[in-house]
Structure 1
Amino acid sequence: MTWTELVMGAAAEHDGDPTMTDVRTGEVLARSVFARRVARVAGGLRARGLRYGELVLIDLPVGIELAVAVHSVVWAGGVAALHLRGPARMMIAQRLHGPVRGDVEHVFTMEPSPGAQPFTDLEGERTVDFGPLCGPALVLYSGRTLRLEELTGHLREIDEELLLEEWDTVLAAVSDEPDPFKGLWVVDIAMTAGSSVVIAQDPSVLGCRILIAEHAVSVTIASPDLARKLSADPDLHVLDERAIVRSLGL
């Protein structure tokens, strides 16, 4: 199994569970729906000419939309670029903030933006049933490229290390600097383990405590400062975000 296959494979095994909760948007997405959306969006990208190994610029905050966009690009055979640099014909963003670069031919946005197509337009009848087995998958803000084989291996390792269970609920309270990879990685880890995940963007200590209580969170993965403050409570199981990306050298 590859990186995306691990995530979508877990999705297929837990059909109908409302596993991902995006605090910013209020969206709750079942694993089965996530898998179908990724397959359809990947089909839409292929229909618009996405080639194997081609960069797609992604400018999205941590959340469900980021997970769908990144995994759709990779499942279609493209490379998701979180650094917004380099030549690219396609871009996926929350909204347009100004003129688009001349080399970008297709822009898809989550929010209505003049000159852009709605991201939902990519979800048609065409699907991609099998993604690539190896090759580049993700480019970080630093410019480092992570390969499918690398991501797959590290995702398996962290899954065995954390030993999350299906009844766990994980709170993703990680930082999104310099890019949102850590938030995406927490979602991947949770889905691979069959756990639920609540995704929060820049929460406060109080905000984390409220979310932990509301969603019966059993494991919190947080930025260093948040993790230190939350760890003062012996009843909470808190992990520093650095622990989940250390094996990747991040």
Structure 2
Amino acid sequence: MSRRRIGFWYRLAAVIAKPPLLVLFKRDWRGMDHIPAEGGFITAVNHNSYLDPLSYAHFQYNSGRLPRLLVKAALFETPFVGMILRGTRQIPVYRETTDALDAFRAAVDAVERGECVAFYPEGTITRDPDMWPMTGKTGAARIALRTRVPVIPVAQWGANLAMPPYAKERRLRLFPRKTLIVQAGAPVDLSRFYDLEPTPEVLREATEAIMAEITTLLADVRGEKAPTEPYDHRKARAEQRRNAAGEGTK
């Protein structure tokens, strides 16, 4: 499928969201030539702010290839937001329910029909203290290995400066005016996994390859050296529990 018609609901979302984004923020879009002009593909995006879905969506919208994001199902129940999400055909994610596979099936169907499906592989805003990407979940890799469509890594920075995710007061910090940087990279080479059985180990390695490319892009955007190992929130929480238990026995 080539660059598709935008349609009423996406135009409405753009009319609502783009003017304040254009006024309040500067933009630095990079690597848009890596976005395929036609055919289905996946984007894998880092997540560091409640604001960054708007930043990424603006970038992707401007590329001419409209994204279908996987969105928490609860947001579809919000009166106006839910209407926009349904109208723009975003994909609801039902976590830990019998409907959990619906998102997987919808994403596979979308890319096979030539659409763009956007993943936040971390599954939530990064918990890394320095805002680097965490370890990822395997959903994007699972669909990529099944469909063999390109996986485009995307790194973004700047939304987190305007709305820090873990500040005591969750409020916009608009001044001085922030620059929203979004950089897409070349497709991740996952060909070495194509003929392997998608075991948990294979999916984990493919996910690590995707996250490594996102992190490399973000290091370029930030002009900083990335950590050698991604932050693992589960391991960090387990370590905290062990430390707390150790303190309790003293």
Whether the TM-score (by the shorter chain) exceeds 0.5 is no
TM-score (norm 2): 0.29
Q: Which structure has the larger Rg? A: 2
Compare relative contact order (CA 8 Å, sep 6+) and give the higher one, 1 or 2.
2
Q: Is the strand fraction higher in 1 or 2?
A: 1
TM-score (norm 1): 0.29
